[in-house]
A and B are shown apart, each in its own frame.
Chain A
C-alpha cells in the first residue's frame, strides 16, 4: 500500500514510517500540514495517517479540504487529544478512524487493516493457522486433530489473536475488542494475563511447539517461532 504520514513529531513519523516499510508498505512522510495537503492531493495514496495539531495547516483542515474535493482516501487520525468531543469532531470531518497517542504499533497495524479492508470483508466461518483450526459456527477448536475445550472468553480471545495471526495484539486492543471496555483499567490487564495463561495452558502445553507468545511490554502474538 502507499501510505502518507502527516506528523510533525519527526521521531514518531520516522519510526512509524520504518515500521510500515517493514510491513511492506510504501511510505511518504510530511512534517507540515501544508506539504501534507500538497502530497495528499498530488499523489494517489491508499491511506493517510494524519496528526491533528500540525504547523501551518491543522489536520482537520486538511481532512475537510480533501473531503470537499471528493477525495475519499481512507484517513486515520493520530492525535494526543482524547476527549469524546475531539473524536466526534474528527470522525464528523470524514476520518475513518481515530487513534489516540500513545498507541501500540500493533494497534496501528490492526486499525490500518480494518480501515483499508472496510467494506470488503468476507465473512469467515473457519479461522486456521498451521495445525490450529477454529470453527466460528460450532465454536469449536482443534489443534492437530485434538479437540480443545475453551471457555467463552478463551474462545473469543483465541479468535481475536487468530484473526491477527503473525501480528502483535496489545492488552489495550484485547480490552477494547474482546472485553468491550472503552477504558483500559489495571485490573483488566491482570484479567487478560490470566486468560492468556490459561489459553496457553490448553492450547500449547501438550503440543510440539507453542503458538502463543508474550512480547514483554507490548502484548501477545500467535505464530510459530523457531526455537
Chain B
C-alpha cells in the first residue's frame, strides 16, 4: 500500500500514542483500585483491633460502639455462637452466611457491595483462652462508584486524546514535511533547460537542508556535464565539418574541371587525406565516448615503466632528430606497474609528441623517471614557448586550443591531451602541467602512487 509519508508518520505516531495511553490508563486504574481497597482493608483491620479491645470491656462497650455508629457492621462470634451483632448487621446480605468459612484469618473478601474482614484471635476468657472471631464489614458501594467513574473517564478520554493526537500529528507531520514538498516541486521544475536554477536552502543544518544541498550538488554536476557535452558536441561537429568541407569542395572542383588524369588523381588524393583525418578524428571521438561511458577495460598487464619510456622515446626520437632537437631520457629504472599498456603508451606518445612539436629546432627535450618514496613521476620537459600556468587545467579539455592558428598549422586535433589524461587516469595515475623548473618550456608530470597497497617497485 502506498500512503503518503505524512499519513504513515501520523498513523505510526498515533498508534504508538494509543498503545502508551492504554498501558498507562490500565496501570493507573489498577493502582488507584488497589490503593482504595487497601485503605478499606486497613480501616477494617483497625476496626477489628478496636473491637477486640472492646470485647474485653464487655458487651456494653460493644453496644456503645454500635450506638456511636463509628463501626456500622460487625459481629463477634465464638465457635459459631454470636456474642454480639451490630444493629445494622441484619441488613447485610451476608448475615446468614457462614462467615467463618470461605475467608482466611485476617484477610478481607468482597461480598456483594460489602467488604468483609474476619479476624480470629485467642482471647483470655474466664474459662481460659477462647478463640473469638470478629467480623467487620464496610459498604464499598461508593468506592465502586468512583472506580466506575474513573473507568468511564478513561474510556471516554482515551479516544478523545487519540483523536487529538492524530490531528496534531497530522498537522505536525505536514509541517515538517512541507519543505520536502517544496524541494520536490522545485526539483520537478528544474530540467535540461533550467539547469542553472537551484533549490533554496533554508536550514542548512537539518536533514532537509542536507537533502537540498545534496540535490543542488547533483544539479551542479549535471549542469557542468551537460554544458561540457554541449560544448563537446558543438566542437566535434565543427571538427568533423572541416574535413567534410574540404572533401566536398575538392571533389566538386575535380568534377568540374576538365583536368587530366594526374590532376584528377591529385584531387582524389587530397580527398583521401581528409578522409584519413576524419577517420582518426572519429576513432579518437569513439575512444573518448567509451571513456565517458566507463566501459570496463580489460587487459591490464604488468609492464616495466622504464622499458615503456625507452620504447616511446625511441619511437618518437626520429621526429626530434628531424628537428635536430636533443631528446634525452634520464633514468630508465625498473618500475613495474599494472596498467593498460596501450592507453598509457598513447598518453606518453601524445605528451611527448606535443613536446617535440612545440620545441623549436635544435631545442632540447627531457624525459625523466623520478622515483620518490610513495610515488614516481614521469616528467616530460620541453623548451618550447611554454603554457601559461592559468591554462594548466584548460589544456586537458577536449578541443581546447591555446592558439588555434598555430595548432592547425602543426596538425593537432585538440584531443591529444584529453586522450592523454584519460589514458593516465584509467591507469590510476594523474597528469598535470606545471611551470618548468628550468627555462621557459613546459613540464608535464605523469604521477603514479606506489607503495605497499598499490604497485610494487
Least CB separation from A179: chain B residue: B315
Pick from A19-27, A54-62, A210-218 the stretch touching chain B.
A210-218
CA–CA, A171 and B287, complex, Å: 19
Q: By the criterion CB–CB under 8 Å, are B272 and A217 in contact?
A: yes
Q: By the criterion CB–CB under 8 Å, are B276 and A217 in contact?
A: yes
Residues of B contacting A218 in the complex (Cβ-Cβ under 8 angstroms): 269, 272
- State which of B269, B280, B316, B416 has its C-beta within 8 Å of the C-beta of A184: B280
Within 8 A of A (CB), among B140-176: none
Q: A148 contacts the other chain (Cβ, under 8 Å)?
A: no
Q: A114 contacts the other chain (Cβ, under 8 Å)?
A: no
Residues of A contacting B274 in the complex (Cβ-Cβ under 8 angstroms): 217
Residues of A contacting B90 in the complex (Cβ-Cβ under 8 angstroms): none
CA–CA, A187 and B274, complex, Å: 17
CA–CA, A182 and B287, complex, Å: 13
Residues of A contacting B316 in the complex (Cβ-Cβ under 8 angstroms): 187, 191
CA–CA, A216 and B275, complex, Å: 12
Residues of B contacting A84 in the complex (Cβ-Cβ under 8 angstroms): 298-299
Q: By the criterion CB–CB under 8 Å, are B279 and A186 in contact?
A: no
Given A82-B286, A184-B283, A186-B280, also A216-B346 (CB < 8 A): no
Residues of A contacting B299 in the complex (Cβ-Cβ under 8 angstroms): 84
Residues of A contacting B239 in the complex (Cβ-Cβ under 8 angstroms): none
| Min CB gap A165→B, angstroms | 21
Q: By the criterion CB–CB under 8 Å, are A191 and B315 in contact?
A: yes
Q: By the criterion CB–CB under 8 Å, are A215 and B269 in contact?
A: yes
Q: B212 contacts the other chain (Cβ, under 8 Å)?
A: no
| Min CB gap B376→A, angstroms | 23
Q: By the criterion CB–CB under 8 Å, are B315 and A185 in contact?
A: no
Q: By the criterion CB–CB under 8 Å, are A217 and B270 in contact?
A: yes
Q: By the criterion CB–CB under 8 Å, are A102 and B279 in contact?
A: yes
CA–CA, A218 and B279, complex, Å: 12
Residues of B contacting A194 in the complex (Cβ-Cβ under 8 angstroms): 318-319, 321-322
| Min CB gap B387→A, angstroms | 19
Residues of B contacting A181 in the complex (Cβ-Cβ under 8 angstroms): 342, 345
Task: Indicate with 1 or 0, residue by residue over B250-278, a CB within 8 angstroms of chain A CB atoms.
Answer: 00000000000000001011111111100
| Min CB gap A145→B, angstroms | 29
Q: Report 30 cross-chain contacts, Cβ distance below 8 Å, ordered by A residue.
A: A83-B290, A84-B298, A102-B279, A179-B315, A181-B342, A182-B342, A183-B287, A184-B283, A186-B413, A186-B416, A187-B316, A187-B349, A187-B350, A190-B319, A191-B316, A191-B319, A194-B319, A194-B321, A194-B322, A198-B318, A215-B269, A216-B269, A216-B270, A216-B273, A217-B269, A217-B270, A217-B271, A217-B275, A217-B276, A218-B272
Q: A115 contacts the other chain (Cβ, under 8 Å)?
A: no
| Min CB gap B295→A, angstroms | 8
Within 8 A of B (CB), among A180-210: 181-188, 190-191, 194-195, 198
Q: B411 contacts the other chain (Cβ, under 8 Å)?
A: yes
Residues of B contacting A216 in the complex (Cβ-Cβ under 8 angstroms): 266, 269-270, 272-273
| Min CB gap B308→A, angstroms | 13
Q: B353 contacts the other chain (Cβ, under 8 Å)?
A: yes
Prevailing SS type, chain B contact patch: helix
Interface centre among A82, A182, A198, A216 (most CB of B within 10 A): A216
Within 8 A of B (CB), among A80-96: 82-84
Residues of B contacting A82 in the complex (Cβ-Cβ under 8 angstroms): 286
Chain A interface residue count, CB cutoff 8 Å, equals: 23
Within 8 A of A (CB), among B316-358: 316, 318-319, 321-322, 342, 345-346, 349-350, 352-353
Name 20 extra pairs, CB < 8 A, besides A181-B345, A188-B315: A83-B295, A181-B342, A183-B342, A185-B346, A186-B280, A186-B411, A187-B350, A190-B319, A191-B315, A194-B318, A194-B319, A195-B318, A216-B269, A216-B270, A217-B268, A217-B269, A217-B272, A217-B273, A217-B275, A218-B272
Residues of B contacting A215 in the complex (Cβ-Cβ under 8 angstroms): 269
Task: Indicate with 1 or 0, residue by residue over B277-296, a CB within 8 angstroms of chain A CB atoms.
Answer: 00110010011001000010
Residues of A contacting B352 in the complex (Cβ-Cβ under 8 angstroms): 187
Task: Indicate with 1 or 0, residue by residue over B391-425, a CB within 8 angstroms of chain A CB atoms.
Answer: 00000000000000000000111001000000000
Task: Indicate with 1 or 0, residue by residue over A46-64, a CB within 8 angstroms of chain B CB atoms.
Answer: 0000000000000000000
CA–CA, A218 and B272, complex, Å: 7
Residues of A contacting B315 in the complex (Cβ-Cβ under 8 angstroms): 179, 188, 191
Task: Indicate with 1 or 0, residue by residue over A131-175, a CB within 8 angstroms of chain B CB atoms.
Answer: 000000000000000000000000000000000000000010000
CA–CA, A218 and B423, complex, Å: 29
Q: By the criterion CB–CB under 8 Å, are A185 and B269 in contact?
A: no
CA–CA, A90 and B406, complex, Å: 43
Residues of A contacting B295 in the complex (Cβ-Cβ under 8 angstroms): 83
Residues of A contacting B279 in the complex (Cβ-Cβ under 8 angstroms): 102
| Min CB gap A89→B, angstroms | 14
Interface centre among B276, B280, B345, B352 (most CB of A within 10 A): B276
Q: By the criterion CB–CB under 8 Å, are A187 and B353 in contact?
A: yes
Within 8 A of A (CB), among B216-275: 266, 268-275
Least CB separation from A218: chain B residue: B272
| Min CB gap A16→B, angstroms | 16
Counting from the closest, the 6 A-B pairs by CB-CB distance are: A217-B272, A216-B269, A187-B353, A217-B273, A217-B269, A194-B318
